[in-house]
């Protein structure tokens, strides 16, 4: 398989790339920062996906080198704790929509012709439990963590885009999304304690617990799965 993974230097993106490489895939990966993955089967393209011009250049380079793409994993995006200019939990920040939604859609549309040349094309969008939940602001009290409105709204849009795309591209290309819950990244103890009270498995997730879900959705094991949202949250949304 030839896989394209965006945001490959991020916590989740890097592990997804490494797992795919171990299984023998050729991995095209991109990030705004320098390459952190070294392998003979990895192909890195530095790109700022907030720029439409750089997206056009990226796709042009990929199309010159590869005749098809089998799998697209849209992982790049601002996270829920990003601190952007004029960030405010009561005001929508368009920067989140620009990367998390608008330009993800733009890149996907440009890659779809290449995916159609695959016999088993698959698109996976990395969303969030905040794609369908509102924030519990009590979790963030007394911390410097952000809970920006733009993050949840943009991820909700991405999740619904996945649903819409799954029907428009069927049966040639499958489209699914993954919605992780809280992933441990050295958050403040006060946040973690309150988060665990709401999580049946009584712990936060680990970064490497997201990659297996992506591998499942990439593989023939999920050949009859499309238009779905795979939630990985330790039971947070079960209550």
Query: In whole angstroms, what is the distance from residue 158 CA to residue 128 CA?
Result: 10
DSSP state of 88: B
Look at 93-107, 171-185, 190-204, 221-235 and tell me which has the smallest mean pLDDT: 93-107
> Please, what is the Cα angle at 149 between 147 and 155, to 5 degrees?
100
pLDDT in tens, 208-223: 999 999 999 999 999 9
For 60, other C-beta atoms within 10 Å of its C-beta total 10
Confidence of residue 92 (pLDDT cuts 50, 70, 90): confident
What average pLDDT does this structure show over 112-130? 96
Least confidently predicted of 81-85, 107-111, 194-198: 81-85
Query: 180 or 87: which carries more pLDDT confidence?
Result: 180
Contact 78, 96 (CB under 8 A): yes
Q: CB neighbours (10 Å) of residue 203?
A: 13
pLDDT score of 90: 63
The sign of the torsion formed by the CA atoms of 75, 76, 82, 87 equals: negative
Section 91-96 average pLDDT: 78
pTM, whole model, 2 decimals? 0.94
pLDDT of res. 224? 98
Average pLDDT of the residues in 162-186: 97
Higher-pLDDT residue of 147 and 117 is 117
Map residue 5 onto helix, strand or coil.
strand
pLDDT number for residue 88: 62
Q: What is the pLDDT of residues 26-55, one digit of tens each?
A: 999 999 988 889 899 999 999 999 999 999
Average pLDDT over residues 118-131: 96
> DSSP letters along 152-218, please?
HHHHHHHHHHHHHHHHHHTTTEEEEEEEE--B-SS--HHHHHHHHHT-TTSS-B-GGGTHHHHHHHH
């Amino acid at each position: 398989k030839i896989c394209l993974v965006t945001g490959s230097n991020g916590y989740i993106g890097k592990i997804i790339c490494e797992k795919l490489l171990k299984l023998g895939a050729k991995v095209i990966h991109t990030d705004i920062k320098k390459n952190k993955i070294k392998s003979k089967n990895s192909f890195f393209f530095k790109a700022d996906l907030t720029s439409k011009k750089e997206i056009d250049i990226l796709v042009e380079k990929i199309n010159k080198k590869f005749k098809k793409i089998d799998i697209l994993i849209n992982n790049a995006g601002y996270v829920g704790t990003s601190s952007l200019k004029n960030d405010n939990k009561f005001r929508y920040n368009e920067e989140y929509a620009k990367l998390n939604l608008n330009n993800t859609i733009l890149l996907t549309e440009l890659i779809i012709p290449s995916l159609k040349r695959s016999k088993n094309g698959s698109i996976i969008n990395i969303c969030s439990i905040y794609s369908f939940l509102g924030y519990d602001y009590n979790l963030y009290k007394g911390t410097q963590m952000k809970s920006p409105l733009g993050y949840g709204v943009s991820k909700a849009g991405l999740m619904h885009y996945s649903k819409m795309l799954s029907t428009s591209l069927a049966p040639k290309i499958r489209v699914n999304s993954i919605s992780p819950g809280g992933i441990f990244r050295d958050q403040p103890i006060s946040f973690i304690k309150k988060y665990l009270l709401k999580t049946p498995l009584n712990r936060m997730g680990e970064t490497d617990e997201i990659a297996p879900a992506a591998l499942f959705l990439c593989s023939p094991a999920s050949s009859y799965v499309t238009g779905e949202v795979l939630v990985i949250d330790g039971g947070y949304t079960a209550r």
